[in-house]
Each structure stands twice: as C-alpha cells, then as structure tokens.
Amino acid sequence: MNAVDAKSITQRFGKITAVDDVSFTVSEGELFGFIGPDGAGKTTLFRIAATLIIPTGGRMTLFGLNVVSDFRELRNHIGYMPGRFSLYTDLTVEENLQFYATIFGTTIKENYHLIEPVYKQIEPFRKRRAGHLSGGMKQKLALSCALIHKPRILILDEPTTGVDAVSRTEFWEMLEGLKREGITIIVSTPYMDEALRCDRIALMQQGRLMGIDTPAAIRSSYGKKIYAVSHRDRYRLLLALRAMTDVDSPEPFGEAVHINIREGATVDDVKKSLERAGLEGAEVTEITPGIEDVFLELMKKGS
C-alpha cells in the first residue's frame, strides 16, 4: 500500500486554479520532496493532504484512508507542520510539547525516544517561552510537537524557510533519522540543495507537476552540456554572455553563471568572445547539471 496516493487533484479558489490535475504516489517510508517557487501550489496541496481543505476535484488517500471521508481517523496519524510558525508563543517549550502530547492522547515520556534527537537540543531551554526562541530552535520545537504522537506520515510545509544554514543542515539530518524509523515524510522546500536529500522529488510550478523522479535521474534528464563561467566582475560577465549568439540561456548561480553553448560553437569560441568584450581571465568549465538547471529548463519549456 502506498503512503500517499493522489489522483488528478485539482483545487480552485474562485477563478484561480491553485492545484491543477496533480497525481503522484509516495511509498511508505519514503522521503518525498516538493520543490517549486512561491505560489506553485505546494501549500494548498499539503493542506489537502492534511485533511484541511476539500479538493475541488480528484481523490487522495493516505494509507488507503480518504482525506475527505476518513479525515477523523486520519487525523490520528498525521504530523503536520504549517509553513508559518504556529505554536503558542506565550507558552514555554515544555508546555507546548505537553499540550500537543495530551491532545493527541499520548505523553512526552511514551514517545520520548522518537523526538529525542530533535528535542534534546532545545531541552535546555524548556522553561523558555516559545516566542523567545531563535528561528532554528522554533522549527525544532515545531517538529517535536508534530512528532510527539508518533505519526505515520509527516507533512512539512517549507520547514526550513527563514532558518539559518547550520540549522537547516541539522534539520535535514533529523528528517533522515526519522525516515530510518519508518516514518513517511513529504516536505516542500524552495532550496534546491535540500531537494538532493530526498528519495524522490516532484517539481511543481503554477499548480502543475512538471516531473517526479529521484534527484539523480532528474539531474541526468538534463540532455545538454552545461558550463559554469566565472569572472570577478560578475555583472559585466552576465551582460556579455547575454549578448552572445553562441551562448544559450545564461543564468546566474552563486558566484558563477551557468550557460549552454549552441551547436557548432566551442568553449574556446566563448572564451575568445569574452576576451574581446574585455573580460580577460574568465574561466569556463563543464559541470554536472544541478536540480536548479533542470528546473529552470523545465520552467522555460512550460511557459
């Protein structure tokens, strides 16, 4: 049985179609990621999965239970973390956890082993009010609260947005730990580097799914060679590359600019053109395509 089975899920709000005919399956124990820009429909899709919205069309089941008709039973098995921090800021860390444990009919003690790797990092601050925690610590508390009843599935809506880089890495290590416990996790993220840690990822844009596969397969699906060009004057470099006829779709990525080279042209041609433009010493190296590259390519095709 699949942990999640979604068939042709569609959600309209008035004239806006937030989710458009989305189908996917998630196996039990899988770490499944959704990536896509803001407004892609990830939050709406997650709310449907969390039994919070009834979809306009389509059908979704979690562990064979329908998210619309069996929502009462399902709510015992879902751990949900909304995109916004949504714990009680005027309660302490411990009081928040205690509250969620009790309303799910369990105790902190009973499932302590499950939350321990996450919770022990914030336990020293258990008497502190949740509103006074740092962003990373808030996320750990929210995850602890979502986990305290030992859910079969975790639904995490952009859990690392607005969290510092170190905490983000820690957070994903925890998710991998939970996966080993057999908990199915679906997670959305705007960060492409995080997507690499998922078993499979779904690329989403404007309410539509543009592809589902393992990160490796998605990267290798990029049919063309891709080069990273770097120079200390990145702005002029970008302008120069955009003006070149030999170069296709230059996109700035961190310190470098990623480009494709049109058929018939070579790396040397590009280098020469750059020198002519006054950008001596620019480096052009072939790289393996990242998820972003695929994503941008798909977005271009899609629009």
Partner 1 sequence: MKRLMAFVRKEFLHIFRDFRTLIILFGIPAAQILIFGYAVRTDLKDAGIAVLDNARDGVSKELIQKIEASEFFYVKRYLASYEEIDAAFRQGEIKAAIIFPGQIAASVAREGSATIGIIADGSEPNTASLVTGYITGIVNDYSSSLASAVTSSLPLIVPEVRMYFNPGLKSHFMFIPGVITLILILICALMTSVTIVREKEYGTMEVLLVSPLKPWQIIIGKVTPYFFLSLVNVIVILLMTWFVFGLPVRGSIPLLIAGCMLYILLGLSFGILVSASTSKTENAVFISLLTLMLPTILLSGFIFPIENMPKVYDYVSMALPPRWFVGIIRAIMIKGAGFGYIWKETAILAGMTLLIMVISARRFKTRLGEEGR
Binding residues (CB under 8 A) for partner 1: these are 13, 16, 18, 44, 47, 50-54, 71-72, 75-76, 78, 80, 82, 84-91, 95, 98-100, 102-105, 145
**In the complex, least distance from residue 28 CB atom to partner 1, rounded to whole angstroms:** 20
- CB atoms closer than 10 angstroms to residue 166: 9
User: Which residue lies nearer to partner 1 by CB, 44 or 205?
Assistant: 44
Checking 128-132 for CB contacts under 8 A at 24+ apart, the result is: 128/92, 128/93, 129/89, 129/90, 129/91, 129/92, 129/93, 130/87, 130/88, 130/89, 130/90, 130/91, 130/92, 130/93, 130/96, 131/89, 131/90
User: Which residue lies nearer to partner 1 by CB, 160 or 273?
Assistant: 160
User: Which residue lies nearer to partner 1 by CB, 63 or 71?
Assistant: 71
User: Which residue lies nearer to partner 1 by CB, 131 or 302?
Assistant: 131
**In the complex, least distance from residue 79 CB atom to partner 1, rounded to whole angstroms:** 8
**In the complex, least distance from residue 36 CB atom to partner 1, rounded to whole angstroms:** 17
User: Which residue lies nearer to partner 1 by CB, 106 or 249?
Assistant: 106
Contacts of 133 (CB under 8 A, 6+ apart): 93, 122, 125, 141
**In the complex, least distance from residue 91 CB atom to partner 1, rounded to whole angstroms:** 6
- Pairing state between β 31-35 and 184-189: parallel
Take residue 206 and report the two structure tokens written for it.
Answer: 């404007």
User: Which residue lies nearer to partner 1 by CB, 145 or 241?
Assistant: 145
The CB-side HSE value for 11 (13 A sphere, CA atoms) comes to 24
**In the complex, least distance from residue 142 CB atom to partner 1, rounded to whole angstroms:** 9
What is the distance between the alpha carbons of residues 167 and 130, in angstroms, rounded to a whole number?
17
**In the complex, least distance from residue 52 CB atom to partner 1, rounded to whole angstroms:** 5
Tell me the residue type at 66: N
> DSSP 3-state assignment of 293?
helix
